[in-house]
Amino acid sequence: MPYITKDQDAQYSIYYEDLGQGEPVILIHGWPLSGKSWELQIQALLDAGHRVITYDRRGFGQSFVSSNGYDYDTLAEDLHQLISHLELRKPALVGFSMGGGEVIRYITNYGSDNISKIALVASIIPLVKKKDDNPDGVPQEKLDEIINNLKDDRLNFLESFHMDFYNYGILSKSVSQKQLDYDWNIASQASPIATIKAAESWANTDFRSEVGAVTVPVLIVHGDDDKVVPIKTAGDQAAQLIGHSQYHVISGAPHGLNITHAEELNPILIEFLKQ
């Protein structure tokens, strides 16, 4: 099985999948899932002639578990290890939800000379938390509630979270119970430590000072019915801060639009990658 390892760290083991040929695209999954969450994008990108790389964030999927290292600097370093290990030249980076943080922090820490373009899909960029200067963010008490629920009854919380992920029972265009079961199985097997500490990272990291330095082409896609990462604090604000970005709002789409609205997302993503 394909893993990235470090000789000096016997515990370090990042699982990845590398499929196809052509211009490389790295798909970075959201919280609290794994690379499997890109199922409906992988084949579409392969059919469009891309080399498609997915990987599991540390502590999730088949990657190793550590007691720390879930801050964005370390997570961006893991992405850097992947790019270096595969000797990728000018990959495109696509970050979903939490994965948008790795994309932006990677560019902050490693530059964009070797990156062709980036896409932020239902991303947490630039800021999730509500602040005096970010009134449309998620209130601190709601974020605290998430962490407390993870600590008290993680498995029960994950079930309800994924219903919110897809606006299950609200949207006419949602997902099946089997999709919810599938997501729960993936998320429940992630490290409890990783699940909590990664949530603290996406909830508390402010990328507003970083996004203005992005110079490569940028695609932003967000659903206007996202109840997990509200569009006003994320997509709308990211588009304002990254003036040269292409911004697509998918009407009626929830947070998990890569599943519910794949037939709309995939052509947008493929067309952007062609440019």
Write the pLDDT tens digit of every residue in 207-236.
Answer: 999 999 899 999 999 999 999 999 999 999
255 catalytic residue (yes or no): yes
> What distances in angstroms separate CA 1 from CA 7, 186, 190, one per listed residue?
17, 18, 19
DSSP alpha helix (H) spans, the chain: 39-47, 72-85, 99-110, 140-165, 177-188, 192-204, 208-211, 235-241, 257-260, 262-274
Residue 7's pLDDT is what? 74
Residue 6's pLDDT is what? 84
Residue 171's pLDDT is what? 59
Residue 88's pLDDT is what? 98
Tokens describing residue 267: 């052509």
Write down the residue that tokens 């929830």 correspond to.
254
Which residues does the chain have with pLDDT short of 70? 1, 171-173
Of 34, 37, 63, 97, the catalytic one is 97
Residue 210's pLDDT is what? 97
**Taking Cα atoms as reference points, which of 198, 194, 186 lies closest to residue 36?**
186
Residue 172's pLDDT is what? 59
Q: Which residues contact 225 (CB under 8 A, 6 or more apart)?
A: 167, 171, 252, 253, 254
Of 29, 222, 255, 261, the catalytic one is 255
176 catalytic residue (yes or no): no
Of 56, 183, 225, 226, the catalytic one is 226
What is the distance, to the nearest Å, from the Cα of residue 167 to the centroid of all Cα atoms in its chain?
18
C-alpha span between 266 and 251 (Å, rounded): 15
97 catalytic residue (yes or no): yes
Residue 10's pLDDT is what? 75
